[in-house]
C-alpha cells in the first residue's frame, strides 16, 4: 500500500468535516443563529436568576419570620393570624412550583398568561424561569439561615432588636457564605434548564441548533456545537464557583 493511500482517509474526513461546517454555520451566516440563541439563553438565565433571588428572599422570609408587632397593642391574635397566613402562602407556593415541571409552567405562562399581558415571549419566559428558580432559591436561603447557630438570633433579640432587624444585620451576613456557592450552582442548573425555551417559540441555543438541522438535515454537527457552547459557559461558571469557594474557605480560616 502506497503512502498516498494512507493519507486518503484523513483527507476525505477533513473535506467532509469542512463541508459540513460550511453548510451548517458559514452558508447563509447560520453561525449568527447560534450566537443569537446563546444571547437569548444568557438573557433569560441572568434575568431569571435575579428574579428568582428577589422572590426567593421574599418567600424565605415569609417562611422564617415571626410577626411580633401587634402584641404591643394587645392584639396578639393578629400576630398569630399573620404568621399563619405567611407560612401557608409560602408553603403552598413552594409546593406547587417545586411539584410541577418547569416546562409546564413555561407553557402556562406562554399560552395562557402572555396573551392577557400582551408582552413578548421572552418576557414571560423570564418570569416563568424566575418563578421556578425562586422556589429553589428560597430553600437555599432558608437552609443557609438555619445553618447559623440559634444563639446568634437569641443574642439579637436580647439586645432588643426586632426579628427582621436581627435577621438582616446579624444572621444574613453570616449565612451569605453558605448561600453563595449553592446559589451559583443554581445558576448553572438554570442555564441548562433554559433548553426548554424552544417550547415557548424562543430561538434559544438549543432551538437554533434544531433550526440548522432542519435546513441541512445534519443532526450531529449543530447539536455538538450547541453542547460545546453550553459546556464553555458552564465551565466558566464552575471555575468561578471554585474560586469563590476557595476565597470563602480562606476567610473562615482567618
Please write the tens of the pLDDT for every residue from 230-246: 999 999 988 988 888 78
Q: For the chain, which residues make up each domain, given as ranges?
A: 31-253
Give tens-digit pLDDT for 175-226.
887 888 888 889 999 999 999 999 998 999 999 999 999 998 888 889 999 9
The string of pLDDT tens digits covering residues 58-91 is 998 888 877 666 666 676 678 788 888 988 999 9
Continuous H helices in the chain: 3-21, 31-64, 76-99, 102-107, 114-117, 121-146, 150-158, 163-166, 172-193, 205-216, 220-253
What CATH class is the domain 31-253? mainly alpha
161 alpha carbon, distance to own chain's centre: 34
Question: What is the pLDDT, as a whole number, of residue 11?
Answer: 57
CB atoms within 10 A of CB 182: 16
d(C-alpha 224, C-alpha 128), whole Å: 27
Cell numbers 439579637 correspond to what residue?
A: 156
Amino acid at each position: 500500500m502506497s503512502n498516498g493511500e494512507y493519507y486518503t482517509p484523513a483527507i476525505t474526513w477533513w473535506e467532509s468535516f469542512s463541508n459540513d461546517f460550511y453548510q451548517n454555520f458559514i452558508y447563509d451566516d447560520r453561525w449568527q443563529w447560534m450566537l443569537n440563541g446563546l444571547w437569548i439563553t444568557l438573557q433569560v438565565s441572568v434575568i431569571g436568576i435575579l428574579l428568582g433571588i428577589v422572590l426567593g428572599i421574599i418567600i424565605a422570609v415569609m417562611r422564617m419570620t415571626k410577626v411580633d408587632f401587634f402584641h404591643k397593642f394587645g392584639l396578639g391574635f393578629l400576630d398569630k393570624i399573620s404568621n399563619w397566613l405567611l407560612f401557608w402562602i409560602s408553603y403552598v407556593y413552594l409546593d406547587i412550583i417545586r411539584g410541577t415541571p418547569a416546562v409546564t409552567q413555561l407553557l402556562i405562562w406562554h399560552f395562557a398568561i402572555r396573551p392577557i399581558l400582551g408582552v413578548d415571549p421572552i418576557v414571560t419566559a423570564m418570569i416563568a424561569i424566575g418563578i421556578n428558580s425562586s422556589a429553589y432559591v428560597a430553600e437555599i436561603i432558608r437552609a443557609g439561615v438555619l445553618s447559623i447557630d440559634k444563639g446568634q438570633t437569641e443574642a439579637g433579640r436580647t439586645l432588643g432588636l426586632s426579628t427582621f432587624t436581627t435577621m438582616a444585620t446579624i444572621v444574613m451576613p453570616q449565612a451569605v457564605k453558605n448561600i453563595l456557592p449553592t446559589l451559583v450552582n443554581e445558576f448553572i442548573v438554570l442555564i441548562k434548564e433554559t433548553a426548554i425555551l424552544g417550547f415557548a417559540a424562543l430561538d434559544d441555543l438549543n432551538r437554533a441548533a434544531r433550526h440548522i438541522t432542519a435546513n441541512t438535515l445534519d443532526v450531529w454537527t449543530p447539536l455538538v456545537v450547541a453542547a460545546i457552547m453550553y459546556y464553555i459557559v458552564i465551565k466558566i461558571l464552575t471555575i468561578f464557583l471554585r474560586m469563590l469557594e476557595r476565597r470563602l474557605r480562606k476567610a473562615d480560616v482567618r
